[in-house]
Amino acid sequence: MSEGRRLAGQTLIRAFSFVLSGSISFLLLPIYTRFLATSEYGALDVVLSLNRALIILASLGMGSGIGLALQEVSSGERPRRVSSALAAQAIWLLLLMLALGAAAPLLTQWLFGASERTAAIRLGLLLLATQVLLNFTIGIANWMREAWRFLLVATGGAVAAGAGSAIGVAILHRGVAGALSGLLIGTALFLPVGFALVGRHFAPQVSWRDVRRCFALGLPFAFGDSAELLFPFAIRLVLLAAGGLDWVGIFAAANTVCLVITTANYAFTGAWLPFVMSADGKRHRQEWPRVLALYGLGLIGIAAVLTLLAPPVVAFVLGGGVYQRATPLFAPIALAYWLKAMRQASGGPIIAQGESWAYSVFGALAIAGSVSLAFLLTDRFGLAGAAWGIAGGEAIGLTAQSIFAARRGAGVLVARSVLVMAGGFVALTLATEIAAPSTAGEIAFRLLDAILFLGVLLAGRAVALGDLRHAALLLRSLLPGR
């Protein structure tokens, strides 16, 4: 199998995995918006955002660091390193959970200004522990390039957690506590299955030297991952201060829909980063710009569809009502996720050159810019200001990283393509703001907007037509029977 087909095949498997996992969140969304008050959904989202932020501290980048650790040793030594990494992860996680459990009342007072949600914070911490351990098994399947095991572990855990949460909210009517308890029970029940699927990669012995090495390699990724894991929580803090839990709930609803872009991004980078760092990937370095141009085109297409379909999605998925305020948030959130995806994918060559610290710095720059701009714009433009602030911060991070990569000979983004895609999307967003005289008129306007958007991409040569044909043939070759 050619490397192109292998990369595309693994990306599709991961895409299927993340689509299934992401669809659980999407399926839970109408349940949450209908069975929870806006403020209750906001409180649930704050707890889950806190969890994502704490994953940095709980995992210390171990899931990514072990990938580099495995590259350093022979295949016979890899099981020992996997077991050593798990031992380090488990010991650190236990100590951290004891400390955070004791601090739960202080966290509750800080976030909600009252103590009645302490139980929810503690449920969230237990959920965090099970998620970190399950993510460890997912990471092993990923770095061993076992796409089908990755699919089973990632989707199985998501389905079990989602089913538990749906039961807790829609059937037992336990509110936020039911949602968190269901997620916890489902994840915990599936955890033994995850370890069983990757169990052959473990050894009975542990080396403390390997433990130290895994920590050393993982810490730069912990700092780099903060761009993705800290910024949702920081944005929630901005929204809490400006508009309370209701604002958080409305923003969370629009954000959950737009996570389809993040789902596609995780699918691609899950296959892309191990490929870029492999010997086979480095031999095909000249193909990297073409791959990323096609990837960017696909994602900006998803962002455009979300923007064009925002009104019916709000009406039928979120149930309308107060969530009508989420409609103008789709475009800036989708743009922010597209910019983040381009930054993360184009950071692969920087990591492959051994400069993961730089990748981490630009991730931190993106989060700092996003939070700062969201804070500044929220006072004047409300929720939409926060969303556009996030997009602005990601644009700053991508621009700075691209300049650095070009100077280090690691640039893989074609500036014209990125500018055409981003400019065309902003123009599309502005066009959708034109008021239509009727529902039929709005549908006609949005169809025209879609045609004009495609015209801009083609006229600006965002991607060469030859590359589009090559990608179509490659995808066709992956169909059954080919």
Neighbours of 304 (CB within 10 A): 25
pLDDT at 265: 84
pLDDT at 268: 78
With DSSP H G I counted as helix, E B as strand and the rest as coil, what are the percentages for the chain, rounded to 5? Answer: 85, 0, 15
Q: Would you tell me the crossing angle of helices 208-277 and 118-143 to the nearest 10 degrees?
A: 70
User: Are 119 and 135 contacting, i.e. CB atoms less than 8 angstroms apart?
Assistant: no
Residue 309 lies in a domain: yes
pLDDT at 1: 46
pLDDT at 6: 55
Residue 430 lies in a domain: yes
Distance CA 42, CA 184 (A): 19
Could you tell me which of 393, 271, 289, 390 has the C-alpha nearest to residue 334? Answer: 390
Rounded to the nearest angstrom, the gap between the alpha carbon of residue 222 and the centroid of all alpha carbons in its chain is: 15
Q: Which residue has the tokens 């103008």?
A: 328
Specify the 3-state DSSP secondary structure of 61. coil
Distance CA 225, CA 380 (A): 30
Q: How many CA atoms lie within 13 A of 140 on its CB side?
A: 26
Distance CA 221, CA 77 (A): 23
pLDDT at 441: 81
Residue 269 lies in a domain: yes
Distance CA 65, CA 119 (A): 33
Residue 37 lies in a domain: yes
User: Are 49 and 233 contacting, i.e. CB atoms less than 8 angstroms apart?
Assistant: yes
Residue 134 lies in a domain: yes
Global pTM reads 0.81
Distance CA 455, CA 300 (A): 14
Alpha helices by DSSP H, 36-146: 38-59, 62-71, 78-102, 104-112, 118-143
User: Are 346 and 401 contacting, i.e. CB atoms less than 8 angstroms apart?
Assistant: yes
Distance CA 410, CA 404 (A): 8
pLDDT at 24: 82
Residue 41 lies in a domain: yes
For residue 321, the surrounding DSSP H or E stretch is none
Q: Exposure string (b/e) for 253-272, b if CB count within 10 Å is 16 or more?
A: bbbbbbbbbbbbbbbbbbbb
Distance CA 363, CA 311 (A): 32
Number of domains, the chain: 1
pLDDT at 73: 67
Query: How far is CA 272 from each of CA 12, 68, 356, 472, rounded to the nearest angstrom?
Result: 12, 15, 15, 19
User: Are 85 and 69 contacting, i.e. CB atoms less than 8 angstroms apart?
Assistant: yes
Residue 238 is part of which domain span?
A: 3-477
Residue 482 lies in a domain: no
The angle subtended at Cα 253 by Cα 361 and Cα 306, nearest 5°, is 80
Distance CA 352, CA 439 (A): 51
- Amino acid occupying residue 223: F
Residue 303 lies in a domain: yes
Q: What is the DSSP string of 63-80?
A: HHHHHHHHHTS-TTTHHH
Beta-carbon contacts of 294 under 8 Å, excluding residues fewer than 6 positions away, are 463, 467, 468, 471
Q: Which two tokens stand for residue 263?
A: 């789902």
Mean pLDDT by 10 residues, the chain (482 residues): 52 64 82 94 94 84 68 72 82 91 92 86 95 87 75 87 95 94 96 88 77 70 65 91 94 92 79 71 77 89 94 91 93 96 89 80 90 94 95 95 90 88 94 79 87 89 72 50 46
